[in-house]
Amino acid sequence: MTMPAASCALQKGVVWIVDDSALDAERARRALENHYAVQVFPDGTAVLEALGSHPAPDVLVLDWVMPGVSGIEVCRFVRSNGAHARIGILLLTVRQQTEQVVEGLSAGANDYLSKPYATNELGARVDALVRSITLLDRAEKAEATVRHLLANVPDALLVLGEGRRITYANPEAQKALGRWAPARLLGQSICELLPQLSAELFAAATGVEAFALPDITIDNEVYAPTVRVFPVDLGGGSTILALRNVTARRMAEVRRLDFYSIIAHDLRSPLSAMLMRSELILLGKHGPLPREAVVDLHKMQGSIRMLVGMINDFLDLASIEGGHFKLIKEEIDLVSLVDGVADVLRPLLVSGELSFEMRALPRPTVLADRRRLGQVVANLLSNAIKFTPRGGKITATLAETETYIEAVVEDTGSGISPHEIPKLFQRYARANSGMAGTGLGLMIVREVVEAHGGTVGVNSVVGCGSRFWFRLPKIGGHGHPSAHASPAG
């Protein structure tokens, strides 16, 4: 008995046929020889000897009933040996009773074919077995590659299953959670291991896009968590939690923010002194002033206030980017908040000869940081005032739906061209109006609104004005405010 040449085995799948009937064995060999490297064995003993001394085939075609060692006994032996677990087994049998078919499949056969059979059916079933083995090979290689990547990524990665229990932790995750033995991690609830990661935070993550959670501290190291929720089970769960060690980055950001704060303080102090001195001069400390001098002093005060505003914008941006952006939420009456901001800005409305109207029915409330939300409203109203010509009108509208509260600031200015709108909420972006400014105001608006779980947008028509809006979740509401633009009003 000769074995197939190695070169042949490399080019074709290998099939061994085991049948005590020489006629049946030859018929099967001819049906498969054009596509596979085929070897015929006369009985079970011969094929077991070959399995012990030669590379295993891709598929075994076994006759069930043979003298000596039967086909089903060969099947059981092959499946008892882990080294041969990948061999596809096709049983040939005249036995067609259900319990006999079940016995054969339970013994480890992948498929069975009743005798007599059509040769093309034999070929099709062997092809199917080879395809399944090939697909399994690919899947296992892909899994091995993924596991290698997971084991070597610099971030701690955990797969969470039902109840947010850990089903997988890569080496970096085991290192980060080193206070717990690796074996103890599996099956533990991440919310119990790390109480800073509450169930409410996980509930906000609903898609495959990375959802950033607030920084957490583990053994004096700072980590930035992100969550992805997949629509299918990944083999242990559908939620991926990544923990990136950002300790060094956060320390550098603190130093940078401290530096900015020192510079800002050193700049604001003389600017504030200049404002006070100019106010005293306007009040007549050195006697009456010519009208031209009064106008110049007012312009100077406006420029100083603009510089102070720029400094505040840079500080806010540094705070946001540095991860030190904390929200102190409380229930806020939006009508009162907008009224208060409008009162502060009323001198600018009067000097610009602008009318202001607020529409709100009913009086909506939101859970938000009062100071930060006031900053959002002030930025939107200030922009509207800045870009609305004399005699124009600014309208603030508050409305609510089942899931969110919407605030709109609308003006009768010159409007914004369509190609500029996508850039408005980006850093240093502003409409091509010739007005001075840092271009950070709308970016800060976006960051603050999104930190509250909301969305922001704008509708504008050149020559007809602009409509800036933001949406925040209702108290006790579910879902996320839609990010789609509402129709221009």
- What are the residue ranges spanned by the domains of the chain? 6-148, 153-245, 250-321, 329-473
Strands 59-63 and 13-18: parallel
CATH architecture of 329-473: 2-Layer Sandwich (3.30)
Q: Is the peptide bond before 487 cis (omega within 30 degrees of 0)?
A: no
10 HSE (CA, 13 A, CB side): 3
> 389 and 413 in contact (C-beta within 8 Å)?
yes
Under DSSP, the state recorded for 40 is E
Contacts of 284 (CB under 8 A, 6+ apart): none
Q: What distance in Å separates the CA atoms of residue 220 and residue 207, rounded to the nearest whole number?
A: 30
CATH architecture of 153-245: 2-Layer Sandwich (3.30)
Q: What is the mean pLDDT of each run of 10 residues along the chain (489 residues)?
A: 44 87 92 93 92 91 90 90 88 83 89 90 93 90 84 88 88 86 84 87 76 88 90 75 91 79 80 87 86 86 78 72 73 93 87 90 87 90 91 93 91 88 70 52 86 90 91 71 40
DSSP β-bridge partners for residue 433: none
Q: Quote the pTM value.
A: 0.49
At residue 282, the pLDDT reads 87
What radius of gyration, in Å, describes the C-alpha atoms of the chain?
37
Structural tokens at position 279 = 């106010």
**Residue 285 one-letter amino acid:** K
Contacts of 458 (CB under 8 A, 6+ apart): 416, 421, 424, 466, 467, 468, 469, 485
Q: What is the DSSP string of 84-130?
A: GTT-EEEEEES---HHHHHHHHHTT-SEEEESS--HHHHHHHHHHHH
Under DSSP, the state recorded for 364 is -
> 104 and 91 in contact (C-beta within 8 Å)?
yes
At residue 115, the pLDDT reads 87
Q: What is the CATH number of domain 6-148?
A: 3.40.50.2300
Locus of tokens 């405010």: 481
DSSP β-bridge partners for residue 393: 355
DSSP β-bridge partners for residue 87: none
At residue 345, the pLDDT reads 87
> 445 and 376 in contact (C-beta within 8 Å)?
yes
Sheet holding 455-461, edge to edge: 355-360, 393-400, 404-411, 465-473, 455-461
Structural tokens at position 53 = 């001394």
pLDDT digits (tens, 9 = 90+) for 3-29: 444 444 445 789 999 999 999 999 999
The torsion of the CA quartet 199, 204, 205, 207, rounded to 10 degrees, works out to: 140
At residue 427, the pLDDT reads 60
Q: State residue 403 phi and psi, 5-degree precision.
A: -120, -20
Question: Minimal CA–CA distance to 59: which of 138, 122, 148?
Answer: 122
